[in-house]
Structure 1
Amino acid sequence: MKKILVLILCALAYSTLSAQTDENKKSAFQLSFVPPLSTNGMYASQYTNQVSLNLLIGVSQNEELLTWGGLSNIILNNAKGLQWAGLSNYVGNDGQGLQVAGLVNINKNSFSGFQLGGLANTASEMKGFQFSGLTNIAKDVTGVQFAGLVNIAKNVRGVQFSGLVNIAENSDCPIGLINIIKNGEMGVAVTYDAIGSTVASFRSGGKYTYGIIGVGYNHKTINNSLVTEGGFGAHIPVTPWFRINNELKFSAIGNDSDEPVLNGGYSLIPAFRIGKHIELFAGVGINYMETKDINNHKIFPNHSLWKKEGSTRLQQLYIGYQFGVQYIF
């Protein structure tokens, strides 16, 4: 094994010297250890390669088909095809194809295709799909941003989906608990529902979708009455003063206790706009709730579509209602 490694290093060292006089600056294949130990030598940063195998770190001007890096790929101009790196891919101009990195993909200009980053993806103009464990950043997006924590963009023609926050100037379809959209909609609502929960919630989103996050009080519980709520909604615009909201919400009642009441469901909610800032709404929905605290049976509605009572668990499927008012900023 040591002899093989020595031979590889010797070959790379020889290539480093011999490639200095190569004026073609194109290569079908590059093998690199770390710059300048490369088959393209000290001028590797000026080469356009069809295929690059970078044992640790590789640098090139352009890549045409396949780039694989044990740690990082550094492409100073354009990249096409597949760029795969254990840590990071860097493209100094435009990228196209599939980028996969354990940590981060960085494109200084546009990227068209699919970016998959363990932590983050960046591009000036993104056409395609960005998927990251933490964050996606782009100026203009045509396609989908999917992030575990936050998406940041300027103009989005497509969908933003995040585990927590979407930020943009223009985005009609953000899907996240909190959506800070400059030309979107944000408001504060107070709601009351069939199981006795009064909740103040922050609602934020774009033209069609929005997120819900709230806290409140339930007057039917025995001990802990704190309510926390989260969910997603979708508007169906009908007229400037009337729309139909579809909401998928989940709540925990007594969520800081060992045995909270869990409730979740879908609601169809007509909403009427009064003036510029006030919206009144009321609707019905189908809900499922359960708890391991059997002493909290009073919170369960008297009517049900399905109900199961055990010695350690209460479960119920029921038709519920909610109504409320929202102040839109």
Structure 2
Amino acid sequence: MNTFYNEKTQPSNPFKGFLKALGFTGLLLSGLNSFAQDKNPGKIHIGFVYPLSTNGTHAPLDTNRFSFHLLAGVSSVEKGFTFAGFSNIVRNEATGTQFAAFSNHIGKKAEGLQIAGFANTYGEGQGAAFAGFGNISRGNVKGAQLAGFGNIARDVDGAQLAGFFNKATSVKGAQLAGFMNLSNKDVSSSQLAGFINKAENVGGSQFAGFINIAKKVKGVQGAGFINIADSSDYPIGIINLVKNGEKGISVTTDETTSTMLSFRSGGKTLYGIIGIGYNFKNKDEVYAMEAGFGAHWFQSKSFRLNTELTGMSVERFKAGEYFKSSLKVLPAFRIGKHFEIFGGPSLNFISTNTTEGRNLHTKFIHTWGNKWGNSLQGLYIGYGGGIQFIL
């Protein structure tokens, strides 16, 4: 009996074509690697996941100039383009571009561009790092960090931009975050955050939705509520606790007999105002609340001109609301070291829908709405003044 099969009788192998292609690819890649080793520094590294690649188990010791892995790749040094469907792991330096659907991990310095769907981690960086969630550098960064959630580094010479927070030791540039920026030392440019900024010295400005904290701020310190600093001449906040600034408690009244007890605080030029009070003109129990900003002009030892922009709300009418916004021009005279008297005209806009609110003032430059109906908006000239005890 003939024990051999001919081509017609031999069973077909469905993997024969694939195995031949794989073998040919391996020979081709081996040739390319041999050529790369002879002519250029670094290999071409292609694979699925370590150690299923052209570099095999030797991959953690190899230097590559091009790497492409369907899932994850491991190498010692990368000097060109690196791609992974999930993650790139480079034990030492990486130069060029590293792209991964999930993460890039570089043990030492990353020089070039890093793009990851989730995170980039590296020793130090020169270039830009983009991540859907976070960029974490254990050393210094020269360039930019951009992340959907957070950036962390030591000294940053460039910018940090994050959806939630940025943290660095010092920044020669700007920090912009949706919630918080933190710098243990100096920020040469500005900090912009949705909630809080904190730094030692700020060469530019700080803008936060709620609070700014620093020692010395050269530019504007703008917060939705409070600024804290040792030195800040231009704080814009309702409360400004500036060590080298000015704080005072004042009693004021205006043309509607709304009498306020207020706290004024700020720097040499700008200050904030917050106060509570009572309106004595109306027969109902009506309580007033006031907040705003002010600025000092033409300052001398005994005189200065204060301008203020405030908003005041009067409550406890039987029903409805009363709101007044005012632009005030208030010449102020110093009496001794701690007292100041001030007073002057104001331009006021009111909006009310109560009879009591309409009766607080009756002479207007111009009105909107129905003066005798349910609502009234009006513009008029008023006056006010008070006395302040400077702490």
TM-score normalized by structure 1? 0.88
Unaligned runs of 5+ residues in structure 2 are: 1-45, 64-74, 94-105
CA drift at 1:278: 0.3
The equivalent position to 2:138 in structure 1, one of 54, 67, 76, is 76
Q: What is the distance in 2 between the residues matched to 1:246 and 1:13?
A: 74
Worse overlay, 111-120 or 227-236: 111-120
Q: What is the distance in 2 between the residues matched to 1:8 and 1:253?
A: 72
The answer to whether the Cα contact below 8 Å between 1:30 and 1:51 also exists between their aligned partners in 2 is no
Residues 87-112 of structure 1, C-alpha deviation per residue, up to 9 Å, x if partnerless? 11001223313x22121100112x13
SS in 2 for 1:297: helix
Match of 1:119 in 2: 179
Alignment CA distance shift 1:69-1:47 (3 Å): same
SS in 2 for 1:238: coil
The equivalent position to 1:18 in structure 2, one of 59, 74, 79, is 59
The answer to whether the Cα contact below 8 Å between 2:62 and 2:77 also exists between their aligned partners in 1 is no
The equivalent position to 1:235 in structure 2, one of 291, 296, 308, is 296
SS in 1 for 2:357: helix
Could you tell me which amino acid in structure 1 is paired with residue 314 of structure 2?
I
SS in 2 for 1:94: strand
Match of 2:366 in 1: 306
The answer to whether the Cα contact below 8 Å between 1:220 and 1:298 also exists between their aligned partners in 2 is no
Match of 1:223 in 2: 284
The answer to whether the Cα contact below 8 Å between 2:363 and 2:380 also exists between their aligned partners in 1 is yes
SS in 1 for 2:359: helix
The answer to whether the Cα contact below 8 Å between 1:49 and 1:60 also exists between their aligned partners in 2 is no
Match of 2:35 in 1: none
Match of 1:324 in 2: 386
Residues 280-329 of structure 1, C-alpha deviation per residue, up to 9 Å, x if partnerless? 101111110120113432201x4321124151102211111111000000
CA drift at 1:45: 2.6
CA drift at 1:128: 1.7
Q: What is the distance in 2 between the residues matched to 1:126 and 1:119?
A: 17
Alignment CA distance shift 1:116-1:27 (3 Å): farther
RMSD of aligned residue pairs (Cα, Å): 2.6
Could you tell me which amino acid in structure 2 is paired with residue 40 of structure 1?
V
Q: What is the distance in 1 between the residues matched to 2:78 and 2:89?
A: 12
Could you tell me which amino acid in structure 1 is paired with residue 210 of structure 2?
L
Match of 1:40 in 2: 90
TM-score normalized by structure 2? 0.75
Match of 2:306 in 1: 245
Alignment CA distance shift 1:115-1:8 (3 Å): farther
Could you tell me which amino acid in structure 2 is paired with residue 259 of structure 1?
G
SS in 2 for 1:143: coil
Match of 1:169 in 2: 230
CA drift at 1:83: 1.5
Alignment CA distance shift 1:215-1:83 (3 Å): same
Alignment CA distance shift 1:226-1:33 (3 Å): farther
Could you tell me which amino acid in structure 2 is paired with residue 60 of structure 1?
Y
Q: What is the distance in 2 between the residues matched to 1:13 and 1:170?
A: 61
Unaligned runs of 5+ residues in structure 1 are: 1-6
CA drift at 1:113: 2.7
CA drift at 1:228: 0.2
In the TM superposition, what are the counterparts of 1:196-215 in structure 2 within 5 Å?
A: 196-215=257-276
CA drift at 1:220: 1.8
Q: What is the distance in 2 between the residues matched to 1:249 and 1:17?
A: 71
The answer to whether the Cα contact below 8 Å between 1:75 and 1:91 also exists between their aligned partners in 2 is yes
Residues 2-34 of structure 1, C-alpha deviation per residue, up to 9 Å, x if partnerless? xxxxx9972798699735455996755566788
How many residues end up aligned between the 2 structures? 318
Q: What is the distance in 2 between the residues matched to 1:325 and 1:177?
A: 19
Alignment CA distance shift 1:119-1:13 (3 Å): farther
Worse overlay, 279-288 or 40-49: 40-49
Q: What is the distance in 1 between the residues matched to 2:156 and 2:206?
A: 18
Q: What is the distance in 2 between the residues matched to 1:60 and 1:150?
A: 32
Alignment CA distance shift 1:201-1:9 (3 Å): farther
The answer to whether the Cα contact below 8 Å between 1:93 and 1:108 also exists between their aligned partners in 2 is yes
The answer to whether the Cα contact below 8 Å between 1:40 and 1:47 also exists between their aligned partners in 2 is no
Alignment CA distance shift 1:172-1:119 (3 Å): same
Percent of aligned pairs sharing the same letter? 35
The answer to whether the Cα contact below 8 Å between 2:205 and 2:221 also exists between their aligned partners in 1 is yes
SS in 1 for 2:186: strand
Alignment CA distance shift 1:249-1:17 (3 Å): farther
Match of 2:208 in 1: 147
CA drift at 1:225: 1.0
Could you tell me which amino acid in structure 2 is paired with residue 10 of structure 1?
V
Q: What is the distance in 2 between the residues matched to 1:48 and 1:280?
A: 62
Residues 58-110 of structure 1, C-alpha deviation per residue, up to 9 Å, x if partnerless? 2113333321112110122222333111211001223313x22121100112x
The answer to whether the Cα contact below 8 Å between 1:163 and 1:177 also exists between their aligned partners in 2 is yes
